[in-house]
Each structure stands twice: as structure tokens, then as C-alpha cells.
Structure 1
Amino acid sequence: MGRLQESPCLILFTDGETTELQFGRDVLLPVAEEYLLDHGHEGGLTLQFYVAGEDEVSDSVRDFACLDDVVPLVAILDLSERTKYLLEEGVEVSTATVHNFITRYTSDKLSPLPIRPVTSSATNTT
């Protein structure tokens, strides 16, 4: 969990079955390698990549970020900014679609969503 707070991260959530975890690795590895080649020299915060199954840590992350319990689900979480970006529902998860998702993220072409919705009581200063 601590590493999730260090820098933005892309997480591919799966159902936790061995074949699905391997699918996630197969999808993310080429994208992660290309990303690090292109952005690793920039220093600062770089995107981290994770494949998550069904376990307590994944459930905690989903709960904290208010993510639906669907699989597969691809999300970029930036806990320091308290924002999330979600791959559109219905898009087939593949190396190409994840690559495109990251390209749009790094080009600021995605709209951030709040990790936790702001409640009216949090903004009330009475």
C-alpha cells in the first residue's frame, strides 16, 4: 500500500485467477517497459504498474478509491492528488488500449475524477 502513495499508478484489477493474473502481466509488461524507456529519464514521479487480484489489499484500494467491483478494470490512481482516471467501460483490455489510455493520461487528455466525492458537510464552514 505504501508504494501506491509514492507516485501515480496504473492498476489492472482482475478476478485473481492464475490465468487472469498472467493476462494482466502480459498486457501491462510491454506498456510498462515502453513507458519507462520514454519517461524514466525525466526523474520525479513516474507511473507505477500493478496487476491486482481479489485480496484484502485490492479490496481496500477499491474501497478507498470508490471503484466499482468489476473485472477487468483499468485505473490510474494518484493518491497524492486524490484523483483517478478510468479506462472507459466496454473497452476491451489489451496492450493497445492500455497504451492509448496512458498516452492520453500523459498528454493531459483525460479528465480526473475525485477519489472520494466531496460531501456537502466537508465544504460547509458554519
Structure 2
Amino acid sequence: MVDGEETEIQFAESVLMPAADNYYEAHNINFSSAQEDLILNCEEDAFLQFLVGVDSETSDMVRDLVGLDDVMPLLVAIDLPNRRFAIMEYGVEITNESVNGFVTKFQKSDLKFINITEERVEAPLN
């Protein structure tokens, strides 16, 4: 892994973790048990998952799904069940406070959402 990429991951984790911790605490989600148990017990309950996207095939698939540019840093909320996403406004500094505000607005559906359309989803080549 390149040092610059490691720095980006550390930065992303440092601004996402407080928002994730606040969210999990507010929704009484406990990760002290095995993650499989949590997922099995929460099947009916929708809860947010936080992902740091590094330069990988998975990140590329997510970018292709919603049609995102390769801009860094970028904070995106993806609502798969409702087939929509929202991007934090370009130029807004990504801080603990701005991420927390973004997550709060996402939960309240108070963001400018963009629909994930069939045209945005790229079919696999193989």
C-alpha cells in the first residue's frame, strides 16, 4: 500500500469513526459480539454501515453503480433499498462535525438525493 493511500485511510477513519460511534450508540448497536450475530439479529432493522473506499475493485463497483467521479476526498451516502444517493457538497471541508451533520441529514432524508437509474448501473463485461 502506498503511503499516501495509508494517510487517506487514516484520515477517512478519523472523521468517520466518531459519526459511526454516535450512530451505533444512538441505535443501541453493539459490535462486541460477532458481526455475523449482529447481521442475523438485525435483518429486519435497517442500519447504516460505514465504508472507507480505497482504490479497489469494490470501490470501483460502487463508483460505477452511482456514476461517481474519481474525486478525493469524497463523502457519499448510498441508500440502496431506495435506489438513491447523496454526495456531500464539493468544497465543504470533511471534518468530524461535517460528517456527523451529513449522517444526521441522511437519516432525516434532508439531503439532495440523486436516483440510481438503470443507466447508471454498468453491466459487467464478463
TM over 0.5: yes
TM-score bracket for this pair, using the shorter chain length: 0.7 to 0.9
TM-score by length of 2: 0.74
2:14 and 2:58 mapped to 1: Cα distance? 22
Q: How much has 1:118 moved relative to structure 2?
A: 6.3
Match of 1:32 in 2: 20
Match of 2:93 in 1: 92
Q: Quick one: percent identity of the two aligned structures? A: 38
Matched position secondary structure for 1:49:
coil
Q: How much has 1:20 moved relative to structure 2?
A: 0.5
RMSD value, Cα: 2.2
TM-score by length of 1: 0.74
Opposite residue 77 of structure 2, the aligned amino acid is I
Instruction: Check whether the contact 1:40–1:46 (CA below 8 A) recurs between aligned residues.
Output: no
List per-residue Cα deviations over 1:42-97 (Å, max 9, x = no partner): 97101100101111110111011111110111011112211001101111111110
Q: How much has 1:108 moved relative to structure 2?
A: 2.3
Which residue of the other structure, out of 7, 21, 46, is the alignment partner of 2:9?
A: 21
Given the superposition, is the C-alpha separation of residues 104 and 93 from structure 1 closer, same or farther in structure 2, using an over 3 Å criterion?
same
1:51 and 1:105 mapped to 2: Cα distance? 17
- Where do 4+ consecutive residues of structure 1 move more than 6 Å? none
- The structure carrying a bigger strand percent of its residues is 1
Match of 1:82 in 2: 83
Opposite residue 15 of structure 2, the aligned amino acid is V
Alignment gaps of 5+ in structure 2? 30-41, 121-126
Match of 1:56 in 2: 57
* Number of equivalent positions: 104
Instruction: Check whether the contact 1:66–1:116 (CA below 8 A) recurs between aligned residues.
Output: no
Alignment gaps of 5+ in structure 1? 1-15, 120-126
Residue pairs, 1:64-79, within 5 angstroms: 64-79=65-80
2:112 and 2:28 mapped to 1: Cα distance? 24
